[in-house]
Structure 1
């Protein structure tokens, strides 16, 4: 994780004062815990830091969260929560069994409310056991991604329980079992299996979600430091990389130049478009780039705005 400054939300029931300890009502207040990344910090030291940070926040819990937002003039939006998108909810003293008169109630199922944050971790601790609920927003995490997050979280817990002196940077995010499984997927299926799958004539594919497409675009923007780009769209729409050519310019806020059908496949005309329309970003196959350089070299030499070239495999 390359986040240097991290904020996590938590809550205080505000029932510690003896004057309000038996009050019936909603006194919950949100608190912000701020941490700065220290990769060489040992887990034992990180726990101490978290404890001190939490105690400091609880010491100021009388300040209502809404008042803090108003005083700091923080813009409010119904689309996201200010300050943090990860929430930790720790509830001590939660009991799975309750006596009421001559009856006993026992918790069998729980149906938590929808989470307002990207990730919510609920920890309910009792004298018998601890219940951990890991919740995410469906618009950001599918079932597979959620399971991966949960397995990674449990793996990290196992690693830390076995050696609390580990530096944070040395904690592997994935278990050996997960890595072996991933390597197996990377090697692919055996030849016989591939033939069998081809003969069954069932359509194969992966469902691409809007959030996945957004994550890909944002990831490339961050990795390659892309800005407001003029993007060339010259590939066939059936080629999967055409989606990048289309959305890159639209999302980044400048333009997408769609090459007319009459000029597609003509390297001279395409390079002329790159020059005349100030194209800054192209994504093409090695054979396309080779033809552009061979037949449109003079045009490309004058394309002073052309800065980013992404090379992809042939369709």
Structure 2
């Protein structure tokens, strides 16, 4: 019997949070699903937790890599290739959710809706609330995330998604498996460490409607090992580079963008200019170049803005 939903749980060194993740998956009020467990060569003993579920009736696959793949999105690709369900939920192993998550989101889906997601709460290691994501979108007027909505993918991208990643956590999303074509996992995506999910959502959003449920059903975990923690200069640089690659790809290939996007580019360029001006050449410690990589990105984005502006 083909399940309605395929739930992927890709794990890497999230043993402290893994049991809570598994409990909130297997305990869902909606039970027509299969689970695909993936471990990317964890070194923290996560495999011991996952092994206990090898023979669970809901577990269709348990795959443990002997070597780390180097990309969480290679794990996404592997899981999606194995999935049989009409819908896919990538339940990241350090997050958790309400037990009504699947039931609530599936109730919002219709034949035009290919992606649906809920509001998220950011929490720390112990589950203490850090941020309600309604504040993450407060710059938009109106802040459409204050209520449930459905919108065409193209409008969603042009008004909001090209400006910033307004689907901030994969764990909050269910989507139709048929939207994932082989070309989606292109080299740009598989090389990314921080913006790959944004790149992924942008590609599948183009082909469908997006639904949103304003209910707080997903808990987005922040902790010391999380890849989305941008506390170091190296990670901040990597994030900015990947943001530039993502916007550049979609503006070039799909002719997307509007006045809001233009304003955002100028704002980003100015911020990069400020950052590059305070970095010292000595930071690079013997590397062959003395110019800050931020300066390179500044120039790249500045010319992108000029080229884009000429088309408006």
Fold shared, TM-score > 0.5 on shorter chain: no
Query: Which is richer in helix?
Result: 2
Of structures 1 and 2, the larger Rg is shown by: 1
Per chain length, whose mean CA-contact separation is higher, i.e. which structure has more relative contact order (CA < 8 Å, sep 6+)?
2
